[in-house]
Chains A and B, each alone.
Chain A
Amino acid sequence: MQRVGVFVCWCGSNIAATVDVEKVAEVLAKEPGVVFSTNYQYMCSQAGQEMIQESIRKYNLTGVVICSCSPRMHENTFRKTCEKAGLNPYMVEIANIREQCSWIHKDKDTATEKAIILGRAAIAKVHLNAPLTAGTSPVKKRALVIGGGIAGIQTALDIADAGFDVDIVEKEPTIGGKMTQIDKTFPTLDCAACILTPKMVDAAQNERIHIYSYSEVSSVRGFVGNFKVTIKKKARFVDETKCTGCGLCTEKCPQKKVPNLFNLGLDNRRAIYIPFAQAVPKVATIDADYCTMLKSGKCGVCSKVCTAGAIDYQQKDAFIEQEYGAIVVATGFNPIKLDKYDEFAYSQSPDVVTSLEFERLMNAAGPTGGTLLRPSDGQHPHTIVFVQCVGSRCDDSKGKPYCSKICCMYTAKHAMLCREKYPDTDVYVFYIDVRTPGKNFDEFYRRAVEEYGVHYVKGMVGKVVPENGKLKVQASDLIGNQQLHIDADMVVLAAAIEPDKSARPLATMLTASMDTNDFFTEAHPKLRPVESPTAGIFLSGACQGPKDIPETVAQASAAAAKVIGLLNKDHLICNPCTATPDEMMCNGCSSCEKVCPYGAITYIDKEFRGPNRTTLIRRVAQVNPAVCQGCGACTVACPSGAMDLKGFSNKQIMAEVDAICR
Chain B
Amino acid sequence: MTYSYFPGCTLKTKGKDLDIWGRASAEALGFTLEELPDWQCCGAVYPMARDEIATKLSSVRALMAAGEKGQALVTLCSACHHVIKRVNNDLRTDEAIRDKVARYLKLETPYAGETDVLHYLEVLRDKIGFDKLKEKVVNPLTGRKIGAYYGCMLLRPAQEMGFDDPENPTILEDFIRAIGAEPVIYARRNECCGGYCTIKDKGFATKQVDAIMDNAKACGAEELITACPLCLYNLKENATEGLPVAYFTELLAEALGVKEAAK
Tell me if chains A and B make direct contact, with any CB pair below 8 A.
yes
Binding site for B on A (CB under 8 A): 339, 341-343, 345, 347-348, 397, 463-468
Contact of A345 with B218 in the complex, beta carbons under 8 Å: no
Given A342-B165, A465-B187: A397 in contact with B159 (beta carbons within 8 A):
yes
Which residues on the A side are within 8 Å of B215 (C-beta)?
Answer: 465, 467
Tell me if B191 is interfacial: C-beta within 8 Å of chain A: yes
Which residues on the A side are within 8 Å of B105 (C-beta)?
Answer: none
Which residues on the A side are within 8 Å of B186 (C-beta)?
Answer: 465, 467
Interface string of B104-137 (1 = CB under 8 A from A): 0000000000000000000000000000000000
Interface string of B170-192 (1 = CB under 8 A from A): 00000000000000011110010
Scoring A339, A341, A464, A467 by chain B CB atoms within 10 A of each residue's CB, the highest score goes to: A467
Given A348-B187, A463-B191, A465-B187: A342 in contact with B218 (beta carbons within 8 A):
no
Name 10 interchain pairs, CB-CB below 8 A, sorted by A.
A342-B165, A347-B168, A463-B191, A464-B187, A465-B186, A465-B187, A465-B215, A467-B214, A467-B218, A467-B219
Contact of B167 with A342 in the complex, beta carbons under 8 Å: yes
CA distance A397 to B162 in the complex (A): 13
Which residues on the A side are within 8 Å of B219 (C-beta)?
Answer: 467
Binding site for A on B (CB under 8 A): 159, 165, 167-168, 185-188, 191, 214-215, 218-219
Q: What 8 A-B pairs have minimum CB-CB distances, sorted nearest first?
A: A342-B167, A342-B168, A465-B187, A343-B167, A467-B218, A468-B218, A467-B215, A345-B187
Which residues on the B side are within 8 Å of A339 (C-beta)?
Answer: 165, 168
Which residues on the B side are within 8 Å of A347 (C-beta)?
Answer: 168
Q: How many contacts A-B (CB < 8 Å)?
A: 28
CA distance A345 to B159 in the complex (A): 20
Question: Which residue of chain A is the closest to B185 with respect to CB atoms?
Answer: A348
Name the one of B167, B185, B188, B218 contacting A341, with C-beta atoms under 8 angstroms.
B167
CA distance A465 to B185 in the complex (A): 11
CA distance A343 to B166 in the complex (A): 9
CA distance A578 to B181 in the complex (A): 72
Question: Which residue of chain B is the closest to A341 with respect to CB atoms?
Answer: B167
Contact of A466 with B187 in the complex, beta carbons under 8 Å: yes
Which residues on the B side are within 8 Å of A465 (C-beta)?
Answer: 186-188, 215
* Shortest Cβ gap from B207 to chain A (Å): 12
Which residues on the B side are within 8 Å of A341 (C-beta)?
Answer: 167
CA distance A493 to B167 in the complex (A): 16
* Shortest Cβ gap from B213 to chain A (Å): 11
* Shortest Cβ gap from B51 to chain A (Å): 24
Which residues on the A side are within 8 Å of B167 (C-beta)?
Answer: 341-343
Contact of A348 with B159 in the complex, beta carbons under 8 Å: no
CA distance A631 to B215 in the complex (A): 65
Which residues on the A side are within 8 Å of B218 (C-beta)?
Answer: 467-468
CA distance A585 to B150 in the complex (A): 75
Question: Which residue of chain B is the closest to A346 with respect to CB atoms?
Answer: B168
* Shortest Cβ gap from B162 to chain A (Å): 13
Question: Which residue of chain B is the closest to A464 with respect to CB atoms?
Answer: B187
Question: Which residue of chain B is the closest to A470 with respect to CB atoms?
Answer: B218
Question: Which residue of chain A is the closest to B191 with respect to CB atoms?
Answer: A463
Which residues on the B side are within 8 Å of A466 (C-beta)?
Answer: 187
* Shortest Cβ gap from B261 to chain A (Å): 39
* Shortest Cβ gap from A485 to chain B (Å): 10
* Shortest Cβ gap from B144 to chain A (Å): 22
Which residues on the A side are within 8 Å of B168 (C-beta)?
Answer: 339, 342, 347-348
CA distance A343 to B187 in the complex (A): 8
CA distance A467 to B188 in the complex (A): 10
CA distance A339 to B185 in the complex (A): 16
Which residues on the A side are within 8 Å of B185 (C-beta)?
Answer: 348
CA distance A348 to B186 in the complex (A): 8
CA distance A6 to B191 in the complex (A): 71
Question: Which residue of chain A is the closest to B211 with respect to CB atoms?
Answer: A465
Question: Which residue of chain B is the closest to A474 with respect to CB atoms?
Answer: B191
* Shortest Cβ gap from A257 to chain B (Å): 24
Scoring B159, B186, B187 by chain A CB atoms within 10 A of each residue's CB, the highest score goes to: B187
Question: Which residue of chain B is the closest to A343 with respect to CB atoms?
Answer: B167
CA distance A491 to B185 in the complex (A): 19
CA distance A343 to B188 in the complex (A): 10
CA distance A342 to B186 in the complex (A): 12
CA distance A203 to B214 in the complex (A): 57
Question: Which residue of chain B is the closest to A398 with respect to CB atoms?
Answer: B159
CA distance A597 to B214 in the complex (A): 66
* Shortest Cβ gap from B190 to chain A (Å): 9
Contact of A467 with B187 in the complex, beta carbons under 8 Å: yes
CA distance A345 to B188 in the complex (A): 10
* Shortest Cβ gap from B161 to chain A (Å): 14
CA distance A465 to B188 in the complex (A): 7
Which residues on the A side are within 8 Å of B191 (C-beta)?
Answer: 463
* Shortest Cβ gap from A104 to chain B (Å): 28
Seed contacts A397-B159, A465-B215; 19 additional CB < 8 Å A-B pairs: A339-B165, A339-B168, A342-B167, A342-B168, A343-B167, A345-B187, A347-B168, A348-B168, A348-B185, A464-B187, A465-B186, A465-B187, A465-B188, A466-B187, A467-B187, A467-B214, A467-B218, A467-B219, A468-B218
Which residues on the A side are within 8 Å of B159 (C-beta)?
Answer: 397
CA distance A341 to B168 in the complex (A): 9
Which residues on the B side are within 8 Å of A467 (C-beta)?
Answer: 186-187, 214-215, 218-219
Question: Which residue of chain B is the closest to A348 with respect to CB atoms?
Answer: B187
CA distance A397 to B185 in the complex (A): 27
Question: Which residue of chain A is the closest to B188 with respect to CB atoms?
Answer: A465
Which residues on the B side are within 8 Å of A463 (C-beta)?
Answer: 187, 191
CA distance A463 to B156 in the complex (A): 15
Which residues on the A side are within 8 Å of B165 (C-beta)?
Answer: 339, 342
Which residues on the B side are within 8 Å of A397 (C-beta)?
Answer: 159
Which residues on the B side are within 8 Å of A464 (C-beta)?
Answer: 187
Which residues on the A side are within 8 Å of B187 (C-beta)?
Answer: 345, 348, 463-467
Question: Which residue of chain A is the closest to B214 with respect to CB atoms?
Answer: A467
Question: Which residue of chain A is the closest to B215 with respect to CB atoms?
Answer: A467
Question: Which residue of chain B is the closest to A397 with respect to CB atoms?
Answer: B159
CA distance A335 to B185 in the complex (A): 26
Question: Which residue of chain A is the closest to B165 with respect to CB atoms?
Answer: A342
* Shortest Cβ gap from B80 to chain A (Å): 26
Question: Which residue of chain A is the closest to B212 with respect to CB atoms?
Answer: A465
* Shortest Cβ gap from A470 to chain B (Å): 10
CA distance A485 to B75 in the complex (A): 37
CA distance A464 to B186 in the complex (A): 11
CA distance A463 to B187 in the complex (A): 9
Which residues on the B side are within 8 Å of A342 (C-beta)?
Answer: 165, 167-168
* Shortest Cβ gap from B173 to chain A (Å): 12
* Shortest Cβ gap from A396 to chain B (Å): 12
CA distance A348 to B214 in the complex (A): 17
* Shortest Cβ gap from B189 to chain A (Å): 10
Question: Which residue of chain A is the closest to B158 with respect to CB atoms?
Answer: A340
* Shortest Cβ gap from A128 to chain B (Å): 49
CA distance A347 to B191 in the complex (A): 17
CA distance A339 to B164 in the complex (A): 12
Which residues on the B side are within 8 Å of A345 (C-beta)?
Answer: 187
CA distance A339 to B219 in the complex (A): 21
* Shortest Cβ gap from A326 to chain B (Å): 45
CA distance A56 to B164 in the complex (A): 71
CA distance A127 to B191 in the complex (A): 73
* Shortest Cβ gap from A402 to chain B (Å): 21
Which residues on the B side are within 8 Å of A348 (C-beta)?
Answer: 168, 185, 187
CA distance A59 to B84 in the complex (A): 77
CA distance A649 to B188 in the complex (A): 68
